[in-house]
Structure formats: C-alpha cells, structure tokens
Amino acid sequence: MSEAAQDIPMTARWRPDQIEEATAALRRGALVAFPTETVYGLGGDARSDKAAAAIFAAKGRPSFNPLIVHVADEAMAARCADLPGAARPLIERWWPGPLTLVAPVRPEAGLSRLVGAGLPTVAIRVPAHPLARRLLAAFGGPVAAPSANPSGRISPTTADHVLAGLSGRIAGVLDGGPCPVGLESTIVGFDGDRPVMLREGGVTREEIEDALGRPLGAPEGRDVTAPGQLLSHYAPNARLRLGADAARVGEALLGFGPAPGAALNLSPAGDLTEAAANLFAMLHELDRTAAAIAVSPIPDRGLGRAINDRLRRAAAPRQGAPHAERS
Ligand code: TXA
Ligand code: MG
C-alpha cells in the first residue's frame, strides 16, 4: 500500500442492521452519513465542536453557513429550540417528515456554536426515514447534518453518491438505498408569529399553507435568512440549459413528460413527486456522461417549485468553475 493510501482512512459502508457501528462512530465524534427521506445527511454530534468543525472541513463548506440539527422526536427538538406556537400545526403534520423549522436556540441544549454559525436561531428537524430514526434514537442526542455532498455540488440520494463525493473523509455511510423524496426538506422560519418560507423543499408551499390556514410570508428585508441559499449550488460539471423543448447538438436531454429523444426522463407521465425523487440521481448520472444537459420545462407548482429552484441553482454560473464564463 502506498503512503498516500495509508493516510486516507477507509470509509465504511454499513448495512441497515449495522446501526451500532454508526452510533459508536457518532459517540467518538466521527462523521457518519445516513439516509433521510429527503437526501443523505452528513452527521456529527451537534454538541461537539470537533465534530461540527469536521463537518465543515469534510464538505469544504463555508463556516458562515449553519447546519440543520436532526433529532429523534419533538421532545428533543424542544430541548434545543424555543418552538413558537405558530409551529404547532406544522409539527403535528410533518414531524417526523421533510420539514425543517428555524427557531431561537436554547443555550441549555449545549449545541456547538459552530452549528449555528453564530446565529441566535437553530434549524431543526425530525426525519421520517426509519434508519435515520433508529440512528437518532440509539445515539440519543442531537445530530448536526447538512446534505452529504461536497459544498456546492449535487446532493446525494444514494450511498454511492455519498461515497463518490466524500469517501476517505468520513467514517462511514449507512446504506439505506435511494431516498424516497429526493429533494431537501422545506425550511420554514418565523417572523414573530408569522411562518415564512426560507427554502422550498420536500413539503410544498400549498400543503403548508393548507395546514396553517393562511399564506406563508416571504423573508423580510435584505438579510440572507437561510445563509446557505447562495445562488450557485447543486452544481454539476456539465453545462445546464433549462426550459428546453429539445436537445441541441452535444446536449443530453433530461426530459419531463413526453420528451422524444430524452437520454433520461424525470417522469414520463409528468408526475412531480416522481420527478423530485429522480432529480439528483439523474443529474449525477448525466453529469458522468454528458458535457451539456438540456432540461424540459417543469411546471412551477407544488414540488415543481423546489425542483425549479434546484435546477436554477445548478444552472447558475460559478466563479472558478469550468463553465463560469457563461453569462
Ligand atoms: O433535507 C434536508 O434538509 C437535508 C437532510 C440531510 O436533512 N439537509 C440539508 O442541509 O439540506 P444543508 O446544510 O445542505 O442545508 C441547510 C440549510 C442551509 O441553506 C442553511 O443555511 C439553512 O439550512 N440553515 C441552517 N440553520 C439556519 C438558521 N439558523 N437560519 C436560517 N437558515 C438556516
Ligand atoms: Mg446541501
């Protein structure tokens, strides 16, 4: 074995029945990727500065971008955050589920200050995936977990995606197969008692407004209220062209609905739930083979909003990126 290979620790791939290995790694402050219903998370003990710092380092994530804290149940969430009364209908319906709430942090929770990147609030969620639930229950504490991808790259919806991006930088990944939702959680914050949408995601705006019985607000002012919502994100290496009716020469078409000649189709039947579940995996796949990807138009309603949000970010020019010269 070469010296370089010895320096890189092996990243384990754990089966669903190896929760104890993953829990032990979390207990010693190591990093563990695990499936949630949305995307795979890169988890570390949220009370440990060492683990939180290691998450930022493994992802190459800017330290001003705070992490989501994952907990087993509402009781543990309430120990970490002061959840406002307005959150009640959302908690009842989506915890566990693909909804993150941002609320004032409770200092007694002992969360690492790195997790919140200096903010007075914390983003918190109770994931629904059975493996995530078993891991969180066995660990018995809060787990900070951003998506398990190198910062700025496409989010992972399989253990293979995680290993392609982070192998050698984390202790292991719990392999739970593909994530059923396929898009990150929706993030809702509170402006006083008024719920505001901070990030579109796996729960639709329509569903949330239905549960609240009133419209969601937009974030106030010019503050970046979800600091990770930088424009260029979820970026494949391939160039991306959105709203395409057909592929041009040199492009692979990522279809939606009837799309003759499509290399892959998010949902031939035009189903947005199916398209969301396929989005990142198909982007990962086309990114391995095509230099340019054209994407069919996606209706901007329901889950289509979050899909279009991710596609716009994936298509945005990046500084220093191979196709940053695009206007
Ligand atoms: O579905 C998900 O949410 C996945 C899985 C793993 O749970 N996690 C995820 O984490 O997408 P990440 O780190 O990729 O995105 C977290 C987002 C970032 O945009 C971050 O800025 C925002 O949450 N965030 C975290 N703490 C916040 C806070 N206190 N206030 C506002 N936004 C916050
Ligand atoms: Mg992410």
201 CA: nearest ligand 1 atom: 1
Is the CB of 198 inside a 6 Å radius of any atom of ligand 1?
yes
Residue 320: pLDDT above 80?
no
Residue 323: pLDDT above 50?
no
| 247 CA to centre of ligand 1 in angstroms | 34
The pLDDT value recorded for residue 211 is 97
| 320 CA to centre of ligand 1 in angstroms | 24
* DSSP label of 86: G
| 86 CA to centre of ligand 1 in angstroms | 20
145 closest CA partner among 46, 23, 25: 46
Residues facing 100 on adjacent strands: 187
Please tell me which residue, 62 or 321, carries the higher pLDDT value.
62
Q: State the Cα–Cα distance between residues 227 and 219, nearest whole angstrom.
A: 12
Q: What is the mean pLDDT of residues 255-271?
A: 97
Contact 292, 251 (CB under 8 A): yes
| 275 CA to centre of ligand 2 in angstroms | 19
Please tell me which residue, 44 or 227, carries the higher pLDDT value.
44
The pLDDT value recorded for residue 324 is 32
Half-sphere exposure of 175 (CA within 13 A, CB side): 9
* Cα dihedral 187, 116, 70, 60 sign: positive
What's the pLDDT band for 23 if we cut at 50, 70, 90? very high
Is the CB of 196 inside a 6 Å radius of any atom of ligand 1?
no
Candidate from 107-121, 152-166, 212-226, 250-264 with smallest mean pLDDT: 212-226
| Ligand nearest to the Cα of 152, by number | 2
Q: What is the mean pLDDT of residues 268-285?
A: 97
Q: How many residues does the chain have?
A: 327
Is the CB of 226 inside a 6 Å radius of any atom of ligand 1?
yes
Is the CB of 147 inside a 6 Å radius of any atom of ligand 1?
yes
Which of 32, 34, 68 best tests ligand 1's pocket when mutated (most atoms within 8 Å of CB)?
A: 68
pLDDT digits (tens, 9 = 90+) for 200-241: 999 999 999 999 999 998 876 544 455 556 555 678 899 999
40 CA: nearest ligand 1 atom: 6
Is the CB of 65 inside a 6 Å radius of any atom of ligand 1?
yes
The pLDDT value recorded for residue 218 is 80
Question: DSSP string covering 281-316, please?
Answer: HHHHHHHHH-SEEEE----SSTHHHHHHHHHHHHHS
Contact 189, 196 (CB under 8 A): yes
pLDDT digits (tens, 9 = 90+) for 62-88: 888 999 999 999 999 999 999 999 999
Is the CB of 117 inside a 6 Å radius of any atom of ligand 1?
no
| 189 CA to centre of ligand 1 in angstroms | 12
Q: What is the mean pLDDT of residues 278-297?
A: 96
| 147 CA to centre of ligand 1 in angstroms | 8
Tally Cβ neighbours within 10 Å of residue 99. Answer: 26
Is the CB of 121 inside a 6 Å radius of any atom of ligand 1?
yes
Question: DSSP string covering 35-82, please?
Answer: E-SSSEEEEEETT-HHHHHHHHHHHT--TTSPPEEE-SSHHHHHHHB-
Q: For the CA atoms of the chain, what is the radius of gyration?
A: 19
The pLDDT value recorded for residue 73 is 98
| Ligand nearest to the Cα of 201, by number | 1
Residue 4: pLDDT above 60?
no
Residue 2: pLDDT above 70?
no
pLDDT digits (tens, 9 = 90+) for 239-248: 999 999 999 9
Is the CB of 81 inside a 6 Å radius of any atom of ligand 1?
no
The pLDDT value recorded for residue 316 is 86
What's the whole-model pTM score?
0.92
pLDDT digits (tens, 9 = 90+) for 156-194: 999 999 999 999 999 999 999 999 999 999 999 999 889
The pLDDT value recorded for residue 125 is 98
The pLDDT value recorded for residue 235 is 82
Residue 54: pLDDT above 90?
yes
Q: State the Cα–Cα distance between residues 11 and 167, nearest whole angstrom.
A: 6
Residue 321: pLDDT above 80?
no
Residues facing 81 on adjacent strands: 105
